[in-house]
A and B are shown apart, each in its own frame.
Chain A
Amino acid sequence: MNIVVCVKFVPDSTADQAFESDNTVDRVGVPGLLSELDEYAVEQALQLKEKNADPESVTVTALTVGPEGAADAIRKALQMGADAGVHVVDDAVAGSDALATSKVLSAAITKIGGVDVIVCGMASTDGGMSVVPAMLAERLDLPQITFASVIESQGDQFRIKRDGDTATEVIGATAPLVLSVTDQTGEARYPSFKGIMAAKKKPLDTWSLADLGVEASQVGLSAAWTAVESTEARPPRTAGTIVTDEDGSGAKALTEFLASKKFI
């Protein structure tokens, strides 16, 4: 079985995020890391391998599309236990939107070849559109079993639990397929010392758009299907009133505040 896990290198959400002058996300000035939500995807990919009757026959390849630094996201996945990494990096990719990113990812998955399961996170912690997995399924003509909180599999048969808006559903499909996982699937492992050492010897391929047969003009900022016209920092909130509750004064003050704002 061949598993590809798609991981994104994102600006650290605890740092101050910013935009470049061309309205693209600043991916250089802000420290980056493997998207926290994609750690859950790596974890589930590794568990699929470990639960397989013959784990040695399963390869987990971590795939990222992103700038130079994005190799760090792959390295983290390798340290956690992935077997190989693929990093698609090309100046022309900068500023790509979800449509272009999914195009490049699907070309890379096709080049990797013979892939049975593509595991994604539920959303990028930066852009956070939650659409790339569905787009991959569309482009590769595969079934999508997305937003999984519980995953069961037997051979090529998969079943997931999905918390929909109006119902909790069980979705079934046969591999090859695209799977996306939520943070409900369970904590991701930390790289062990052994894992960190082993990662240094694992293969990490770097591919350009030319390697994938994707035209530079089809992706990137100039080809984007959408354009950001302006960005504006939210004005800082004006400091609020804070009271300390003494002898029930807190409840009174709270009720008065709510009444003054016409909520009561």
Chain B
Amino acid sequence: MSEILVLVDHLDGAVRKPTYELLTIAKRLGEPAAVFIGSAASAAGAVESVKKYGAEKVYVVDDSEIKGYLVAPKAEALQQIAAQASPGAILITSSAEGKEIAGRLAVKLDSGLITDAVDVQAGPVTTQSVFAGNFTVQAKVTQGTPIITVKPNAAAPEESAGAGAVENVAVTVSDSAKKAQIVASQPRESTGRPELTEAAIVVSGGRGTGGNFEPIENFADALGAAVGASRAAVDSGWKPHAFQIGQTGKTVSPQLYVAAGISGAIQHRAGMQTSKTIVAINKDEEAPLFELVDFGVVGDLHTVLPAATAEIIQRKG
């Protein structure tokens, strides 16, 4: 059975949930082998984490020489590991960086690339959601090593003990991969709420909040949800761009999406249309988002949400 390489998405060794989803998918396709690119000090913890989700092997690449450079060195590292492992497929998280690594790798390996898969089955056959979620497409890589970037929530992570055999890899990185330098980095402040793209419930606010996100946040906290925003709310400076949902922000596909004070422009829909259950609260009964909802309230979010929040807290006792 051939190895399926999974690039580990982590923050200083803390492995992020989408990686466990990729390992779960990798098991359907072959033998999961994780690729960890990070500091030597953080490797041991990451190895323990990926082992629990079925990694039979972990390629560890010490990033001390490459961490100050954007994307290109990681693609070179993967290329070298792929040359040695001849994997059956390479799985990468569908983030902006993940897709760029995948793009460069596809050129290097002269291999087909599929991005933003929402499901991957044996073959590998991928499922993608396109045109703002209006179509689903089944596709296959027909040349080279299939390189697939997978969206968060594409699979439910399943624990399963893997051997986790560590193989330290010394990669040589070319000078030309070091031409785009990370000059400064400001880590994102933690909101204490679930990660937007991973959350089971997302509550978003738009221009209709008038800049007061308190009703949105309190309602989100009562449900244990992540908080999102429309571009109008971001452009007004009410929330940072990292909160934006839509074509030029994040795509989310939670179990429940609640939009308050958001009209439902096509660019916003592109980022939330595949949510399982959709709820909207809007003063205007003509708001286009009502066409999509499972449940809608025509009313003022500033009265509906606080009352609903109180009700939820009471029910939970």
Contact = CB atoms under 8 A, between A and B. Distances in A.
- Most chain B beta-carbon contacts within 10 A, residue among A37, A172, A230, A240: A240
B119 to A, nearest CB: 13
Nearest to A180: B100
Interface string A154-171: 000001000111111111
Interface in B90-146: 95-97, 99-104, 106-108, 110-116, 125, 129-144
Contacts of A137: 72, 104
A250 interface: yes
B176 A141 contact: yes
B104 A234 contact: no
Contacts of B137: 23, 228, 230-232
Interface string A108-142: 00000000000000110111111111110111011
Interface stretch (A51-59, A69-77, A145-153, A195-203): A145-153
Given A131-B115, A134-B103, A170 B184 contact: yes
Contact of B299 (A132, A147, A244): A244
Given A99-B112, A141-B176, A135 B107 contact: yes
A32 to B, nearest CB: 14
Contacts of A147: 96
B181 A172 contact: yes
Given A135-B106, A173-B179, A244-B285, A225 B100 contact: no
A131 B102 contact: yes
Contact of A242 (B101, B223, B285): B285
A192 interface: no
A224 B139 CA distance: 12
B296 interface: yes
A242 B290 contact: yes
Given A99-B112, A237-B292, A171 B138 contact: no
Given A226-B142, A227-B142, A233 B135 contact: yes
Contacts of A183: 248
A131 B99 contact: yes
B97 to A, nearest CB: 7
A123 to B, nearest CB: 8
A164 B96 contact: yes
A259 B135 CA distance: 30
Interface string A163-193: 1111111111110010000111000000000
Interface stretch (B20-28, B33-41, B43-51, B307-315): B307-315
Interface stretch (A11-19, A41-49, A88-96, A208-216): A11-19
- Most chain A beta-carbon contacts within 10 A, residue among B184, B278, B291: B184
Contact of A17 (B134, B187, B241): B134
A227 B71 contact: no
Interface string B169-211: 0000000100111111111100000000000010000000000
B281 interface: yes
Given A234-B136, A240-B295, A250-B304, A255 B188 contact: no
B75 A138 contact: yes
Given A240-B296, A252-B311, A130 B125 contact: no
A229 B297 contact: no
A241 B139 contact: no
Nearest to A164: B97
A231 B311 contact: no
Contacts of A67: none
Given A139-B107, A226-B112, A19 B135 contact: yes
A245 B106 contact: no
Contact of B181 (A97, A125, A135, A173): A173
B266 interface: yes
B228 to A, nearest CB: 15
Contacts of A165: 95-97
A144 B181 contact: no
Contacts of A250: 281, 297-299, 304, 307-308
- Most chain A beta-carbon contacts within 10 A, residue among B107, B134, B140, B315: B107
Given A142-B179, A241-B294, A255 B299 contact: no
Given A19-B135, A183-B248, A168 B296 contact: no
Contact of B113 (A123, A226, A227, A231): A226
Interface in B238-256: 241-242, 247-248, 255-256
A102 B187 CA distance: 32
A254 interface: yes
Given A131-B99, A167-B186, A254-B304, A98 B113 contact: yes
The 7 A-B residue pairs whose C-beta atoms are closest, nearest first, are A245-B299, A225-B112, A131-B103, A251-B307, A143-B179, A134-B100, A143-B180
22 contacts: A97-B113, A129-B113, A129-B115, A129-B116, A130-B96, A138-B103, A165-B95, A170-B182, A182-B248, A225-B143, A228-B137, A231-B135, A231-B138, A234-B134, A237-B278, A240-B292, A243-B297, A244-B299, A248-B303, A251-B304, A254-B304, A263-B201
